[in-house]
Chains A and B, each alone.
Chain A
Amino acid sequence: MSEIVIDKVSKIFGDGGAKPFVAIDGVDLRVEDREFISVVGPSGCGKTTLMRMVAGLETVSRGEIRVAGKPVTGPGPDRAVVFQQFALFPWKTVRENIVFGMRSRGASREERDEAVTYYLRLMKMEGTADKYPHQLSGGMQQRVAIARSYATDPGVLLMDEPFGALDAQTRTIMQEELVRVSKGNPRTVMFITHSVEEAVYLADRVVVMGRNPGHIREVIDVASTRQAERWSEEPIDDVMEKPSFTHLRGQVWRLLREQMGADV
């Protein structure tokens, strides 16, 4: 059971210094085991900082974060991260990149070979195992990064705008692929994004954040609608034309608009 509990968490940069900056103020959030949540919010709302604190890459100033009941004290393979800039190791082949996290937990050679075959087929990338990242397109590189994180077999997957650096078409394809991949390999996912469509399309719940200082504005349920209308069985373009989708998207949009209005 890999639930994430964010318990009255604040992040203050330069805490105790002359000019402390409150990036996140008293955030409470519970992400259930195998739930997919996406986090949207205007830039500067601290959504990436929140994710990095769950990853253990950033310390928590106040409050506590627990994953599977254990307080987070640093990075670990139970919370693999997919980064916006892919962060593949350029000196490692696709195969070596995919098994990087598996080696941390001492997976056998057969296990690793099996995983490489499995994930390359899943990502529709057969025949690229011995290529280096620079020989692949951006979309392919991000597939490898996603495979690397899945192969690590974490309870929690953290994704920091993973499709932000991709062009529009590749992005759409990747969104569909992610739905397909996560259906077969359900994990607890925290997905940070700028895109409202992406957030609504992928997540069970959308967390809308506000800024000055960063806080949770509202949490919108998508899962009930998705399940009722069987979104995951239809192509992304069809889903995005459904009235239920546009309704939810509008709801998230208005919350974000209020944010920006409040700023001016």
Chain B
Amino acid sequence: MMPTVAGAVPAKRNAWRPRVRRSVVTGVATIVALLVAWWLSTSVLGLVGPARFPSPEAFVAALQRIWTQGYAGGTLIEHVVQSVRLVFVGFLTAVAVGVPLGFLMGYDRRIEAFVNPVFLVLRPIPPLAWIPLAIVWFSLGDASKVFVIFVSAFVPSVINTYTGVRNVRKHLIEAALVHGASRGRVIREVYLPDASPMIFTGLRLSLQASWTTLVAAELVGAFLGLGRALQTAYRDVNTPMILVAMVAIAISGALTTILLARLEKRVIRWRAEA
């Protein structure tokens, strides 16, 4: 990490505001253009048939229906709440176990030697391949979803935390030791902060994996949730509803990711790039 010259930071901060505003304007413009193109190609010009891709009007009608009357066993809010809840439970459990385990593996070679073989065997199994076993074990309820989310979110948390801890800068550890830091202080004040960017990378990947496996698990079998709504819409050949479910998944996933990014920015506020 190269030290930056004094004064570079305020300058950067000043440049920050207009740039964000400009990117927001560009982003909004792009979305508006896409929506207009969508409306023109479906409703106005009929370039794409309604069975293949719904018009905006059909989309809004489907949205209204799932919002007020409900669809596939629940209203949109109920589906979203169910899915977000499962993602949170599975993700948090995976992180709560995965980060400490990865930390220990990176910190102590004996633990690494002990755990690594298990990892080598389990890691190549795609998380989705766990779904059948999860259903056999836990049936179609919440537990099976939480289990597969746990399995998929666990691995990136462990691996990235492990890598982060292994790459903690040696001269910083030495600097702490020669200034009398105890083992606990070295862990809290050197290992944790220096590994935290990598730990957060792991959390981000874990969160993405959580959403992917949740939707897949709900597609295979569920009573409620966005994947269930998607599956039902597919069976009914209801393309507007398929689109509604997909958009809902995208927004829910994006919101949880933003939440995590906020947390990361708060924790790693000392970074030159932040």
Interface set of A (CB-CB < 8 Å, partner B): 55-57, 74-77, 79-81, 83, 85, 87-92, 100-101, 103-105, 132-138, 140-141, 148-149, 152, 158
Q: In whole Å, how far is B201's beta carbon from the nearest beta carbon of chain A?
A: 17
Cα–Cα, bound, A56→B177 (Å): 9
Chain B residues near A132 (CB, 8 Å)? 270, 272
Could you tell me if A80 and B4 are in contact, using CB atoms closer than 8 angstroms? no
**Minimal beta-carbon separation of A116 from chain B (angstroms):** 15
B1 touches A (CB below 8 Å) = yes
**A141 and B5 alpha carbons, distance in the complex (Å):** 11
| Chain B residues within an 8 Å CB radius of A105 | 180
Which of B175, B179, B193 lies at the interface centre, i.e. has the most chain A CB atoms within 10 A of its CB? B179
Q: Are A104 and B4 in contact (CB under 8 A)?
A: no
In the complex where A85-B171, A136-B6 touch, is A76 in contact with B178 (Cβ < 8 A)? yes
Contact of A87 among B9, B172, B268 (CB under 8 A): B172
Q: Which of A56, A74, A85, A101 lies in contact with B179, CB distance below 8 A?
A: A101
8 sampled A-B residue pairs with Cβ under 8 A: A56-B178, A75-B177, A89-B189, A89-B190, A90-B270, A91-B270, A92-B270, A100-B176
Interface string of B1-19 (1 = CB under 8 A from A): 1011110110000000000
Closest A residue to B181 using CB positions: A104
Interface residue? B108 (CB, 8 A)? no
User: What 1/0 mask marks residues of chain B from 178 to 206 whose CB sits below 8 Å from any chain A CB?
Assistant: 11111001000110011000000000000
B174 located at the interface, meaning its Cβ lies under 8 Å from any Cβ of chain A in the complex: yes
What interface size band does chain B fall in? 20 to 34
B6–A140 contact, CB under 8 A? yes
B177 neighbours in A (Cβ, 8 Å):
56-57, 74-75
A135-B6 CB under 8 A given contacts A81-B174, A87-B171, A89-B172: yes
- Among B1, B180, B194, B268, point to the contact of A77 (Cβ < 8 A): B180
Please, which residues of chain A bring their CB within 8 A of the CB of B271? 90
Q: Does the CB pair A75–B3 fall under 8 Å?
A: no
Question: Contact at A135–B180, with CB atoms within 8 Å?
Answer: no
Extra contacts besides A56-B178, A83-B175, A104-B185 (12): CB < 8 Å:
A77-B179, A81-B175, A83-B174, A87-B174, A101-B179, A104-B181, A105-B180, A132-B272, A134-B3, A137-B6, A148-B179, A149-B179
- Cα–Cα distance between A103 and B8 once the two chains are bound (Å): 31
Closest to A137 in B: B6
Query: Are A83 and B1 closer than 8 Å at their CB atoms?
Result: no
Given the known interface contacts A91-B270, A134-B1, the answer about A57 and B182 at a Cβ–Cβ threshold of 8 Å is no
Contact A135 B270 (CB under 8 A): no
B5: A residues at CB distance < 8 A? 137
Asked whether, in the complex, the Cβ of B180 is within 8 Å of the Cβ of A152, the reply is yes
**How far is B238's CA from A180's CA once the two chains are assembled, in angstroms?**
81
User: Which of B8, B178, B193 is the one whose CB lies under 8 Å from A91?
Assistant: B193
Question: What sequence of 0s and 1s flags, for each residue 39-78 of chain B, a beta carbon within 8 Å of any chain A beta carbon?
Answer: 0000000000000000000000000000000000000000
